[in-house]
Amino acid sequence: SEAVDRIYNEYIGNAENRAQVRDGLLDAIGDPLFVLSAIEVARYHRDAGNPVYFYEFQHRPSSATGVVPEFVKADHADEIAFVFGKPFLAGDV
């Protein structure tokens, strides 16, 4: 269908190697699950008159070395350690 073709072309159509196909597929899955829903919630808050700040955390923590694949910049919730610090990770809270 035309919709499938458009989605394919947006996320994978220009891929030149397997890594780019993988990254495109991850974006195609992640955008509707995380990005679109986050934008929707941000718009509700904005429409209610509240200030909204939107960010994408991409800093790869050193604890990821040897644990997650190198292409992963930051996993879901990795920013928690940077916001709350090591005591949070050590279970001291």
Residues 15 and 45 in one domain: yes
Residues 45 and 60 in one domain: no
Residues 61 and 36 in one domain: no
Mean pLDDT score across all residues of the chain: 87
Residues 59 and 32 in one domain: no
Closest by alpha carbon to 10, among 36, 29, 37?
A: 29
Q: Which domain holds residue 88?
A: 55-92
Structurally, how many domains does the chain consist of?
2
Q: How far apart are CA 56 and CA 74, in angstroms?
A: 9
Reported confidence tier of residue 93, pLDDT bands at 50, 70, 90 = very low
Residues 42 and 60 in one domain: no
Reported confidence tier of residue 63, pLDDT bands at 50, 70, 90 = confident
**Torsional sign, CA 16, 17, 21, 24:** negative
pLDDT at 86: 65
Burial 18-55 (b: 16+ CB within 10 A, else e): eeeeeebeeeeeeeeeeeeeeeeeeeeeeeeeeeeeee
pLDDT in tens, 19-41: 999 999 999 998 998 889 999 99
Reported confidence tier of residue 71, pLDDT bands at 50, 70, 90 = confident
Residues 5 and 35 in one domain: yes
Residues 30 and 4 in one domain: yes
- Roughly what angle, to the nearest 10 degrees, separates helices 2-11 and 18-30? 120
